[in-house]
A and B are shown apart, each in its own frame.
Chain A
């Protein structure tokens, strides 16, 4: 019963936190800066991909601020600074505790948990670039939207089940804006199961779904399903093995007005990504990936990418050099083309714990 009484209190605490903050000017959030510089070169790339010249690119500077609003709530803000300007990657407040049924509520702009990879920032990946299916389904920045997330942690013996639901506005779907003016709210949910297999090996399996109206006349609907898998073995600080795999299946009902297809029709885009990443010394890792996307509504309907990557971390995540060699081929690409990318990542700020 006490828990239920605490709900209005913790909700109120969010609303008054700004006033409390005025009296706590010395309590600053943790600030981090993450720089991402790249050198990119292509070989035989089509004109719409690249001019095949080797280029330096200051890809992004990410500014991360994290701090507690009060004993019950925390705020996370991630800004991305690029040549195009400043972008709010994420900005949300989370009610951490005091809610019944092990609930947490997150509100703001955030990366939606449709799958596991979508919730991660690009600097977390050894394969450097966002997998094709996310780019094609949701755009270059993945699915980020403004909304509300409610999640619960359910014990399953010593293991954990996390159930999460979202209602949100925004995002981008196959190049169309999902700002809500025409198509209303989008709903999604994810359930994941985490198990520690041994002291040093863990496994997570997840299943997500998303549904939204496809047009303003409520005639069509688009739905997505996603399955994700992650295995990690880390016997000590000198070696680890991570295997990730994720597959996404969509269903888009197309209205008559859709320029791509004359008659109303349902199409079923899909995609899959898998990577294996082996840390063989404290500072070195290497691995490979396969990246596939299929979208029948596009001219270049399917695309397959695969490649190898390697990395050197001078001291953990503070200074990291990554290299990726990739080949892409597909129905509209003509002949296959190759990409080489060298990334320099640096991180300035407080130590961050390693999340599974």
Chain B
């Protein structure tokens, strides 16, 4: 009987391998999902917890996310405290064979607080600003981390993942050159953003951030802060307010009415708006939107 069961188990495992069962990957965000799909191709089935349409700082821990992770081989985290909600989802999944990759490993993190961090500074991230995927150069670091995770859980297809990583690197390099050329029109331009999500993007494309609609990260705009932002924008001639689509446009509208600035919806993640269905097209859309806004503000 024991031999029969062992034989049956072996057959089932062989059948699973021969059927080309895909590696199940769950990613905290749609940006990681997009890169994992590029690298994994036909070998992977990738799902994202945050689909790009909702604020990634506030994801509710739901049992169906735990179910998703319970079936996964690999979990991709953004890290730096952004997806702090991922750990209870992973714990709730009870998945003992899950490999976890923190995709921020190796990123040159901006705005690491130097001294003591506390809640008087707002919703500040003690490990530094976590919106690093918005610098396309960091896309390569993320891809390397993801490829490493894929090879770990599926060493049999390591060659395919390595080849895909090389393709990703070449394509990204070409696209970065194109984006930099396109972003020439934006270099030195000042904008105000709602949340401090854009330091990596602005660093990559030579844009300057003159201020934020939020007085401190995660804190609702106050009347006095709005007045201060209006003053800064008028003084420095800032004509664009960048806002993530999931934030209210109430305060930006007040500021825009006083300054004549244009409110621009900037999707910070893949899938947030039409035309951002993959990591590369996210930057195409962001730059197009900003260039159009800059032209109309002239």
| A residues whose Cβ falls under 8 Å from a Cβ of B | 1, 3, 6, 72, 74, 96-99, 102-104, 153, 155-156, 158-160, 162, 194-196, 199, 202, 204, 234, 236-238, 282-283, 315-316, 318, 348, 351, 353-356
Contact = CB atoms under 8 A, between A and B. Distances in A.
B119 interface: yes
Nearest to A66: B88
Given A155-B67, A199-B51, A97 B95 contact: yes
Nearest to B95: A97
Given A153-B70, A351-B84, A354-B58, A196 B94 contact: no
Contact of A315 (B66, B70, B87, B219): B219
Interface residues of B, number: 36
B220 A355 contact: no
Nearest to A98: B96
Contacts of B94: 96-97, 99, 102-104, 153
A102 B62 contact: no
28 contacts: A3-B96, A72-B96, A97-B91, A97-B96, A99-B96, A153-B63, A153-B66, A155-B70, A156-B67, A159-B63, A159-B64, A160-B66, A162-B63, A199-B53, A202-B64, A204-B63, A234-B60, A236-B246, A238-B248, A282-B220, A282-B248, A283-B220, A315-B218, A351-B84, A353-B59, A353-B84, A355-B60, A355-B61
Contacts of B119: 315, 318, 348
Nearest to A240: B60
A155 to B, nearest CB: 5
A6 B119 CA distance: 41
A283 B246 CA distance: 16
Contact of A158 (B64, B91, B92, B248): B64
B115 to A, nearest CB: 18
B272 to A, nearest CB: 13
B1 to A, nearest CB: 15
Contacts of A155: 67, 70-71
Given A97-B94, A153-B70, A155-B70, A160 B64 contact: yes
Given A159-B64, A236-B54, A6 B96 contact: yes
Contacts of A238: 248
Contacts of A204: 63
Interface string B44-68: 0000000101110011111110111
Contacts of B123: 315, 351
B85 interface: yes
Contacts of B63: 153, 159-160, 162, 194, 204, 356
B99 to A, nearest CB: 13
Given A195-B64, A236-B54, A318-B119, A353 B88 contact: yes
Nearest to B83: A353
B34 interface: no
Given A97-B96, A153-B94, A356 B62 contact: yes
A346 B64 CA distance: 30
Nearest to A318: B119
Nearest to B216: A315
A354 B61 contact: yes
A342 B60 CA distance: 28
B64 A354 contact: no
B269 interface: no
A315 B63 CA distance: 26
Given A194-B62, A234-B60, A236-B54, A159 B95 contact: no
Contacts of A315: 119, 122-123, 218-220
A72 B246 CA distance: 37
Given A99-B96, A153-B66, A353-B84, 16 more contacts: A97-B94, A99-B94, A155-B67, A158-B64, A158-B68, A159-B63, A160-B64, A196-B62, A202-B64, A237-B58, A237-B246, A353-B87, A355-B61, A356-B60, A356-B61, A356-B63
B93 interface: yes
Contact of A196 (B54, B64, B218, B246): B64
A196 B62 CA distance: 9
Contacts of B54: 236-237
Contacts of B220: 282-283, 315
